[in-house]
Amino acid sequence: MRDAGSLALTRKLGIETELPIVPDLAFALQPAPPLRPRRPGYDIGISPMIYMRPGSWPHENMADYQRYIALWTDLVVDRVARGDRVHLFVTDPADMDAVQEIWARLDAMTRIRCSVAHATTPDTLLEFFRRLDAVVSSRLHGVLLAIVAGRPVLALSHERKVRTLMSDAGVPTFCVELTTATMSQAGGRLSDLTGQLDPCARRLREYVAVASTAVRQQEEILPKLLKAR
């Protein structure tokens, strides 16, 4: 199991087998170190998603979806106005629809300091993260791979497993509930994050080191579990 919450859900299904809690297998990945940062300004990756988008999500609400798109757009505009470079990216191809909607809302001057990344695999995403100072993501794998890469991340969370991951990584302060987030709240938390890049990155590296060791120990655990079945 990835976390205590996942184990509790498994118990509700009636599974009584003793199951260890082990971090996500992504922590077995070994990304290259971050590249030397460009200054002035920060390089920030922002990953929107199609959450609640009609025709794209099991639960649909156009008003809510448009509010999330406006939030991500405002974050882009705000960071560019501060002198940063923003790189829109996705960890699910379907989210490119959200990226396109945000891009259409940006004026020409803002777009000059923005780009759209087309990294789609774990390896290409980890390579992409090397040149970022910070990441903003909502999907679990966007948050997870940013942590694996040791990149400070602001999670705009819409589900339990993202909140749990941020708490386990020791950075719950930088997890904001997407469904209720305001621009003032999300933008302020992102500013706090860019003001603490080095200590946050250091904390994440320490967590990743521990999680990587735990993942490797699965090689010893799995045969025992299979034998017990």
Alpha-carbon Rg for the chain, nearest whole angstrom, is: 18
Q: Cα 135–170–175 angle (5° rounding)?
A: 45
Q: What pLDDT, on the 0 to 100 scale, is given for residue 1?
A: 42
7 found inside a domain = no
pTM for the predicted model, two decimal places: 0.86
Q: Is 145 helix (H, G, I), strand (E, B) or coil?
A: helix
Q: What pLDDT, on the 0 to 100 scale, is given for residue 224?
A: 57
Q: Cα 174–53–26 angle (5° rounding)?
A: 45
The number of distinct structural domains making up the chain is 1
Residue-wise pLDDT tens digits, 110-139: 999 999 999 989 999 999 999 999 999 999
Q: Cα 217–218–223 angle (5° rounding)?
A: 120
36 found inside a domain = no
201 found inside a domain = yes
107 found inside a domain = yes
The pair of structure tokens assigned to 213 is 């060791």
Q: With contact defined as beta carbons under 8 Å apart, do 7 and 199 qualify?
A: no
The gap from C-alpha 33 to its chain's centroid, in whole angstroms, comes to 18
CA–CA distance, 1 with 23 (Å, rounded to integer): 8
Structural domain of 79 = 42-228
Task: Give, for 53, the enclosing helix (H) or strand (E).
Answer: none
121 found inside a domain = yes
Nearest by Cα to 209 from 34, 23, 37, 35: 23
Q: What pLDDT, on the 0 to 100 scale, is given for residue 7?
A: 43
32 found inside a domain = no
51 found inside a domain = yes
Q: Please, how many CA atoms are within 13 Å of residue 3, restricted to the half-sphere of its CB?
A: 12
Residue-wise pLDDT tens digits, 153-186: 999 999 999 999 999 999 999 999 999 999 999 9
Rounded average pLDDT over 47-70: 95
Residue 166 maps to which CATH number? 3.40.50.2000
Q: Is 170 helix (H, G, I), strand (E, B) or coil?
A: coil
CA–CA distance, 91 with 149 (Å, rounded to integer): 14
* 4-13, 22-31, 140-149: range with lowest mean pLDDT: 4-13
CA–CA distance, 195 with 223 (Å, rounded to integer): 45
Task: Give, for 87, the enclosing helix (H) or strand (E).
Answer: strand 85-88
Q: Cα 99–100–105 angle (5° rounding)?
A: 100
CA–CA distance, 113 with 56 (Å, rounded to integer): 29
185 found inside a domain = yes
